[in-house]
């Protein structure tokens, strides 16, 4: 087991290396010094305590959405709906934050819980449809994204708009914000907020569920081999619903972290990009909770350092976006490629041991793959 985890990290590092290399090529092509570019990229995210805080704050929603995608994936489900779940989570949090006149210590837990429940509800629908009618969750979650988008579009201006603006909610009161004074001061005015600690707690909980509980055992069993799970008496459908709900809850928490933590009100007409970045985060993090955590921090670093690189070099923002996208793309896809290679290798090892039937074409491909 341990060896395998080591390998996964190697792969992730390799992937990041490749991504940076691709980014460097892009910088060279556009006539910029990649070494300087990367220096400013990383110092933009790390050069002082404020920036470190901002990097963590940027990473926080990504941790949640990454966990959401990864968790569903462990049950064999592809959750493209993290963006919508995040929106609904954020909407629940914002709505309560603007409505309940409670003191902060009482209000925050309620808000966070409501966000998780909202996201869970948004995961429940596709999960239930998948279990009951075998509606593919990819289609369903994408549609749920738009339902969330337009719900927010209607609900925020109708009930929570401010005095002047039709397009965003009122500013949430201090009592409802995940930003807390001591943390902001500690990080010298950074946007880091309690969401980051909730994220760490969520990583721990998800890791615990997956590794230590019968629920995790069931969920993974369904993910690896639904037929065998059903054969063993595990109710696959119940687990599919449950898995989507937990995934939704993670993304919903991300919504709270983003809308009442990082931001301070809710704007309509925006489907949060973090929902989709979560897919890349989950891929790079190899669907393991701590892997997701690390990957999210890395992506957070890229996102928060990008602007400083822009400001310090002549790399235009559009190219900078391309560079970041290239790094992410390479990071995510090389993990895929590597995993494919490993699977083939594993199969070959298994075959060598068991003397399974010859399959020369597959072996040929492995050979070719092994060289690359």
Partner 1 sequence: MYKKILIVLVILVVAVLVAVNVGQRTGVLKMGRLKVGMVTDAGTIDDKSFNQGTWEGVLQAGEEFGLETRYLKPAGTTEADYLTEIGNLYDAGFKFMVCPGFKFETPIYQAQDRYPDAKFVIIDGNPHAGDFVPVVKENTVSIFFAEHESGFIAGVATALQLKEGELGYIGGMEIPAVQKFNWGFQQGVRYANTHLGTNMVIRPENVIYQGSFDNVAAGQQLAAQMYDRGVKAIFAAAGGVGIGVINEAKARARAGQEVWVVGVDVDQYDEGIYDGNKSVILTSATKQIKKATYDMIKAELDGKFPGGEILVFDAKNDGIGIPDENPNLSAEVESKVAEVYAKLKSGEIVVSDVRGDLIR
Partner 2 sequence: MEYVVEMLKIRKEFPGVVANDDITLQLKPGEIHALLGENGAGKSTLMSILFGLYPPDQGTIKVRGQEVKITDPNVANDLGIGMVHQHFKLVHNFTVTENIMLGMEMTKGLVLDHKAAAERIRQLSQRYGLNVDPEAKIEDISVGMQQRVEILKMLYRDAEVLIFDEPTSVLTPQEIQDLMVIMRNLANEGKSIILITHKLKEIKAIADRCTVIRRGRVVGTVDVASTSEEELARMMVGREVSFTAEKTERIPGDVVLKVENLYAYDNRKVMALRGFSLEVRSGEIVGLAGVDGNGQAELVEVITGMRKAESGRVLLKGVDITNCSIRDRIRMGIAHIPADRHKHGLILDYTLQENMILKVYDQAPFAEKGLLNREAIAEYAARLMAEFDVRSGQGATALARSLSGGNQQKAIVGREIDLNPELLLAVQPTRGLDVGAIEYIHRRILEQRDKGKAVLLVSLELDEILNLADRIAVIHNGELVGVVDAKEANEHEIGLMMAGGQRGATA
CA distance 101 to 199: 26
Cβ proximity to partner 1: between 109 and 269 the closer is 269
Cβ proximity to partner 1: between 17 and 370 the closer is 17
Size of the site for partner 2 (CB under 8 A): 37
Contact code string over 74-113 relative to partner 2, x by CB under 8 A: ----------------------------------------
- Footprint on residues 179-238 left by partner 2 (CB under 8 A): 212-215, 217-218, 220-221, 224-225, 227-235
Q: Which two tokens stand for residue 294?
A: 């690390």
Among 54, 71, 22, 30, smallest CA distance to 222 is for 71
Contact partners, residue 179, CB within 8 Å, separation at least 6: 191, 193, 194, 261, 264
Q: Which two tokens stand for residue 261?
A: 């933590």
Cβ proximity to partner 2: between 164 and 231 the closer is 231
Name the residue with tokens 């609904």.
88
Minimum distance of partner 2 from residue 369's CB (angstroms): 14
- Footprint on residues 300-359 left by partner 2 (CB under 8 A): 346-347, 349-359
Minimum distance of partner 1 from residue 203's CB (angstroms): 23
Minimum distance of partner 1 from residue 368's CB (angstroms): 20
Half-sphere exposure of 316 (CA within 13 A, CB side): 5
Which one among 250, 268, 280, 283 touches partner 1, defined by CB under 8 A? 268
- Cα dihedral: 236, 242, 248, 253 (round 10): -150
- Whether residue 249 contacts residue 120, with contact meaning beta carbons closer than 8 Å, is answered with yes
Name the residue with tokens 């949090």.
93
User: Taken in order 100, 255, 305, 55, is the CA torsion positive or negative?
Assistant: positive
Residue 225 interacts, among partner 2, partner 1, none and using kind-specific CB cut-offs from 5 to 8 Å, with partner 2
Residue 355 interacts, among partner 1, partner 2, none and using kind-specific CB cut-offs from 5 to 8 Å, with partner 2
Query: What are the E-state strand segments in 217-301?
Result: none
Q: Cα 34 vs. chain centroid, distance in angstroms?
A: 28
Q: Which 8-state DSSP code applies to residue 175?
A: G
Residue 230 interacts, among partner 1, partner 2, none and using kind-specific CB cut-offs from 5 to 8 Å, with partner 2
Question: Is 370 a residue that touches partner 1 (CB under 8 A)?
Answer: no
Q: Which two tokens stand for residue 4?
A: 């395998």
Question: Is 75 a residue that touches partner 1 (CB under 8 A)?
Answer: no
Contact partners, residue 267, CB within 8 Å, separation at least 6: 167, 168, 169
Cβ proximity to partner 2: between 167 and 237 the closer is 237
Question: Is 54 a residue that touches partner 1 (CB under 8 A)?
Answer: yes
Cβ proximity to partner 1: between 122 and 262 the closer is 262
Question: Is 25 a residue that touches partner 1 (CB under 8 A)?
Answer: no
Cα 307 to Cα 61, 106, 199, 230, 322: the distances in Å are 19, 37, 25, 51, 13
Residue 201 interacts, among partner 1, partner 2, none and using kind-specific CB cut-offs from 5 to 8 Å, with none
Cβ proximity to partner 1: between 136 and 314 the closer is 314
CA distance 110 to 90: 13
Q: Which two tokens stand for residue 96?
A: 């309560």
Contact code string over 312-351 relative to partner 1, x by CB under 8 A: x----xx--x------------------------------
Binding site for partner 1 (CB under 8 A): 6, 9-10, 13-14, 17, 20, 33, 35-36, 38-39, 42, 44, 50, 54, 57-58, 153, 157, 162-167, 171, 189, 191, 262-264, 267-270, 272-273, 303-304, 306-308, 310-312, 317-318, 321
């Amino acid at each position: 087991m341990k060896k395998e985890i080591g390998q996964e990290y190697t792969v992730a590092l390799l992937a990041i290396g490749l991504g940076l290399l691709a980014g460097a090529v892009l910088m060279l092509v556009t006539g910029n010094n990649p070494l300087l570019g990367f220096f400013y990229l990383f110092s933009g995210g790390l050069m002082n305590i404020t920036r470190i805080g901002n990097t963590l704050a940027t990473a926080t929603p990504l941790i949640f959405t990454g966990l959401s995608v990864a968790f569903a994936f462990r049950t064999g489900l592809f959750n493209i709906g993290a963006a919508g779940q995040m929106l609904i989570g954020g909407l629940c949090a914002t709505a309560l934050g603007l409505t309940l006149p409670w003191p902060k210590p009482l209000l925050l837990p309620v808000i966070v819980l409501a966000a998780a429940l909202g996201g869970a509800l948004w995961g429940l629908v596709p999960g239930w449809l998948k279990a009951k009618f075998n509606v593919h969750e990819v289609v369903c979650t994408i549609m749920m994204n738009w339902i969330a988008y337009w719900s927010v579009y209607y609900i925020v201006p109708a009930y929570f708009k401010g005095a002047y603006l039709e397009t965003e909610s009122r500013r949430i009161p201090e009592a409802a914000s995940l930003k807390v004074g001591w943390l902001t001061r500690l990080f010298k005015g950074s946007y880091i907020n309690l969401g980051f600690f909730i994220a760490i707690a969520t990583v721990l909980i998800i890791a615990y569920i997956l590794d230590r509980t019968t629920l995790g055992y069931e969920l993974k069993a369904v993910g690896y081999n639904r037929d065998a799970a059903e054969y063993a008496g595990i109710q696959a459908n119940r687990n599919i619903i449950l898995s989507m709900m937990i995934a939704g809850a993670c993304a919903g928490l991300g919504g709270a972290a983003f809308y009442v933590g990082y931001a301070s009100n809710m704007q309509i007409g925006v489907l949060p990009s973090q929902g989709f970045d979560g897919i890349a985060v989950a891929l790079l993090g190899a669907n393991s909770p701590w892997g997701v955590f690390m990957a999210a921090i890395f992506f957070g670093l890229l996102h928060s350092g990008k602007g400083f690189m822009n400001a310090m070099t002549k790399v235009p923002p559009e190219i900078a976006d391309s560079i970041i996208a290239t790094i992410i793309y390479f990071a995510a896809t090389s993990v895929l490629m590597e995993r494919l290679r490993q699977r083939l290798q594993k199969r070959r090892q298994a075959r060598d041991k068991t003397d399974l039937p010859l399959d020369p074409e597959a072996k040929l491909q492995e050979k070719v793959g092994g060289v690359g």
